[in-house]
Structure 1
Amino acid sequence: METVNKTREAMDTISDKENGATSSNTNSGNGIFASAKESFESASRLLRRKIPRTGHLMTPRRLWINTVPTQECDIVIMFPHKTEDMELMWMLSQLRNGTPGLVVQVKHHPSTDSYGLYLTAPFSLMLKTAEELHLPKRLKQEHGGGLKEFVQLEMDLFETGEDMDKDFFTTQERQWMVYHLLHTLRASANDQFGTFKFVEGQAIIPKCLSEGLISQIYPLHDLDALQQLRQSWVRTFVKKQPLDSVCKYFGVKIAMYFAWLGHYTFMLIIPAFMGFIFWIGFGRGDQSSEDIGYVLFSLFNVIWFSIYLEAWKRYSSELAYKWGTLDQRHELLREPRPLYSGNLERSPVTGRLEPTYPAWKRHVFRYFVTVPVIVLCLTVVLCVMVISLKSQDWWDKHIQNEGYYFWLSYLPKVLLAVIITLLDEAYYKVALWLNDMGKMS
């Protein structure tokens, strides 16, 4: 850090000398303007040093337009703007000592006066991590094809691209493995980040995130792959979704979500068509015909939904087998939740000190807070439903007796839709609150 500051000061000194030489060579007619320009530039440099957040306001606009994304980087760790140099150096030493071979670059962001660590890993470290994570990779056709857990000794059996270092692992796989390496960092005895003290064996990165010592961790985009997805996916209308490309870039979870979204949207064509048929056949008759149509359409929806669930299970299993997650191993042991900071007790299983929450406090919150809130929400929903049905019947009779327009009968339905939207937003916030309280217990 001292080298960076000295370099910056040296460049400012050279710039001052150059400006001084330029002003001395100008004629007397332009001396006033040159002197004013020199004073303005000196004041700008002084402000950029003293007030780093205003530096981007004095930077030429073309430098922001022609920005070039950082290359050779998978994960970025950002720190708050008040992070001290000693804290940054401690984290840097933990990364280099805890994960040997990890490439770490330190960069300062003048616009926010914050530092970022740009992380990537060499190909040799990626191979070792892939074997530890049992990453499934595709075999060559002459060796049977299909997916198999990666083993370094059998490297020649797996498919590789033209450039093995760049094409063997996808962007998502590289970022996932670097993220895994970050979570393998464990604190030793008496480790301290600023004023926060770690417990021996505690995960460093998740705890720093929960305590606000690290502002955020995020991956960087691959602009070339992102542009290809934009052309083949976002800007198309009737083409089939490129799920394989989405899986390679965003991962299996995101690809599975969009696979379900496309499958569900396509399957909704059937009930939409049948609903239109029922509306034509039963929606223009008397009340008894409409009731028969509603019952038949409800029965059809039950049958359709059951068939749809089985179809989605089959389709999702095919995708999971194709993407190598059908028989993927799960983590048997996970680090205790970093968001909870309670009393430390020795675990009877591992023998280590772990944060422990009293069971009686959890039961008290569950039975005296969670259960009453859920019962109250269900009661409100039941009351709203009953009132809506009663008001709809009363309004229909009132319209029939008074001879109002038929479209006025939809007013209670519109009101019910508005109430459901408001209640849904309220219940969502209540659920988030209960979930956050549950994580802390």
Structure 2
Amino acid sequence: METVNKTGEVMDPVTDNENGATRSNNNSGNGLFATAKESFESASRLLRRKIPRTGHLMTPRRLWINTVPTHECDIVIMFPPKTEDMELMWMLSQLRSGTPGLIVQVKHHPSTDSYGLYLTAPFSLMLKTAEELHLPKRLKQDHGGGLKEFVQLEMNLFETGEEMDKDFFTTQERQWMVYHLLHTLRASANDQFGTFKFVEGQAIIPKCLSEGLISQIYPLHDLDALQQLRQSWVRTFVKKQPLDAVCKYFGVKIAMYFAWLGHYTFMLIIPAFMGFIFWIGFGRGDQSSEDIGYVLFSLFNVIWFSIYLEAWKRYSSELAYKWGTLDQRHELLMEPRPLYFGNLERSPVTGRLEPTYPAWKRRVFRYFVTVPVIVLCLTVVLSVMIISLKSQDWWDKHIQNEGYYFWLSYLPKVLLAVIITLLDEAYYKVALWLNDMVSIRQLVLFSFLHCVLPTRPRETERGNQACYIITKL
């Protein structure tokens, strides 16, 4: 049946019912969407109310992928979270007054709620610092082409790159000089950082770092140079190591280590080949022929190792001469370490004011404190050795009599490894404390491997060192 509306149009009842159903479905769909949206918003509000501290830790993934490098920065000083503004301003004033010309940028890290100081130095300050540090730089070929300690008045004698401000000093040299400038910052009388009070002439940055007032100090990478090293060094296997590029970026110590690693690995080809020959010639016979092979191979290793030492001495001397570290300056001509303290007196060697510590105080502390502490540490090591040997014998007999699992015999060894690790950490802290108390001009650390003491030439005791090594790793 057709109906006519008020405007005179003819209406189909079936079509009208379908349109009504469609409107009803749309209204129900809109209602469902609105309900879901309201539920999602309420859940979001509840999440933000329950976990208020996690919002600043959520960083979009694209920010981690597309990192933006920090330009014009060599060293970063990070402060602990919730550092007071007054402490930060005091450190800024000390940096600007103690090292004039140093460029400092302050940045806030929202993810950790901490502040960082991004430091660099202008080229003029770099030149002055390089002369103070007696930095070796390469001369032009017209003037010999060798290495010479940098002198600012003889600037025209040294090699320069296309852009003198950027190419004259390497990344490692710039970072080293900025790091040196930080360590030369000394405290005045009545200086105070937070609750810590400084002594006049005390190094500010190292003391703040040791006291936890500064969380860490680290250099920033040069992404372009790092990418070049990744392509020419990390991703190549058969090519020769670019040691000059490694030295230019990481410094002489890191480059010398990888030079030794490559040299030693290459020289191991000879004993490996000779060992294979001895195994073919003597390893398939009777016991007497094997013994002869072992003796001959041992003699060969002695000869090879002597030759290798001489070869490495020649090669390392060549690299040291090439990188300007063959002739090191005497200890008295070098700057004392930053934590070295004492009365400021004029040095008869350098003619500059340097902290001086009386020799008689050092001797008294050495004989009445250092020596007894060392004897006590050796007594502890000896006691641990005796107790470990006795307990291992008792434990082995107990396991054999009771019929326990064989792997339980390793429990004393694991316990010994844990004790040795704890003692190692304790001895390290004791050594640093003794060094600070006696005020040594230059710091040298020796690691005493006392894990060798609690072992003896028995088959059952070979696991001690293995357990210790596994624990240390």
Q: TM-score, normalised by structure 2?
A: 0.65
Offset from partner CA, 1:102-140 (integer Å, 9 cap, x none): 000011101001000000000000111111111111111
- Partner Cα distance (1:104, 1:251) in 2: 24
Q: Deviations over 1:59-96 (max 9, x none)?
A: 55444443311100000000000311111111111111
Contact 2:136–2:149 (CA<8 Å) still a contact in 1? yes
Three-state SS of the structure 2 residue aligned to 1:116 is: strand
More moved, 129-138 vs 346-355: 346-355
SS of the residue 2:9 aligns to: helix
Please state whether the residue corresponding to 2:336 is helix, strand or coil: coil
How far, CA to CA, are the matches of 2:182 and 2:98 in structure 1? 9
Residue 6 of structure 1 aligns to a residue whose secondary structure is coil
In 2, the alpha carbon distance for the partners of 1:207 and 1:187 equals 10
Give the SS at the match of 2:10. helix
Q: Secondary structure at the residue paired with 2:54?
A: helix
CA separation of 1:291 and 1:220: change in aligned 2, threshold 3 A: same
Contact preservation (8 Å) 1:106, 1:117: yes
Report how far residue 238 of structure 1 moved. 0.3
Q: Distance in 1 between matches of 2:254 and 2:4?
A: 40
Deviation of the 1:254 alpha carbon = 0.3
Across the aligned residues of Structure 1 and Structure 2, the Cα RMSD in angstroms comes to 13.9
Change in Cα spacing, 1:378 to 1:21, as seen in structure 2 (3 Å) is: farther
Larger Cα-atom Rg: 2
- Contact between 2:347 and 2:353, CA under 8 Å: does it hold in 1? yes
Task: Please report how far the alpha carbon of residue 267 of structure 1 lies from its aligned counterpart in structure 2 after TM superposition.
Answer: 0.6
Offset at residue 154 of structure 1 (A): 1.1
Contact 2:80/2:215, CA 8 A, preserved across alignment? yes
Using a 3 Å threshold, how does the CA distance of structure 1 residues 154 and 314 change in structure 2: closer, same or farther?
A: same
Q: Following TM superposition, by how much is the alpha carbon of 1:57 offset from its aligned partner in structure 2, in angstroms?
A: 3.9
Q: Mark the CA change 1:432 to 1:16 in structure 2 (over 3 Å): closer, same or farther.
A: farther
Change (3 A) 1:82 1:310: same
2:203 touches 2:339 (CA, 8 Å); kept in 1?
A: no
CA contact (8 A) 2:184 2:338 kept: no
Deviation of 1:158 after TM superposition, in Å, equals: 1.0
Is the CA contact 1:55–1:110 (under 8 Å) kept in the aligned structure 2?
A: no
Structure 1 428/354 Cα, relative in aligned 2: closer, same or farther at 3 Å? closer
Q: Structure 1 residues 365-374 or 194-203, which shifts more? A: 365-374
CA contact (8 A) 1:191 1:197 kept: yes
Per-residue CA deviation, residues 152-181 of structure 1 (Å, 9 max, x unaligned), is 111111111111100111100100110011
Unaligned stretches of 5+ in structure 1? none
Task: Check the 8 A contact 1:104/1:120 in 2, yes or no.
Answer: yes
Provide the secondary structure at the position in 2 that maps to 1:125: helix
* Aligned pairs for 1:231-242 within 5 A: 231-242=231-242
Paired residue for 2:28? Answer: 28
CA contact (8 A) 2:186 2:201 kept: yes
The more displaced of 338-347 and 181-190 is: 338-347
Note the alpha carbon deviations across 1:359-415, whole angstroms, 9 max, x for none.
999999999999999999999999999999999999999999999999999999999
Provide the C-alpha distance between the structure 2 equivalents of 1:315 and 1:276, rounded to a whole number of angstroms.
28
Q: Which moved more, 1:33-42 or 1:399-408?
A: 399-408
Say how many residue pairs are matched: 438
Q: Distance in 2 between matches of 1:196 and 1:227?
A: 42
Would the aligned equivalents of 2:333 and 2:349 in 1 still touch at CA under 8 Å? no
Which stretch has the larger CA shift, 214-223 or 368-377?
368-377
Measure the CA separation in 2 of the matches of 1:378 and 1:19.
96
Asked if 2 retains the 8 angstrom alpha-carbon contact of 1:210 and 1:338, the reply is no
User: Percent identity, aligned pairs only?
Assistant: 95
Residue equivalent to 2:444: none
Between 22-31 and 192-201, report the one with greater CA deviation. 22-31
Q: Is the 8 A contact 2:3 2:12 kept in 1?
A: no
Deviations 1:271-301 (A, max 9, x none): 1111111111111122222112111111111
Q: 1:390–1:105: structure 2 CA closer, same or farther, 3 Å change rule?
A: closer
Contact 1:53/1:112, CA 8 A, preserved across alignment = no
92-101 or 338-347, which moves further after superposition?
A: 338-347
Cα contact 2:343–2:355 (8 A) shared by 1? yes
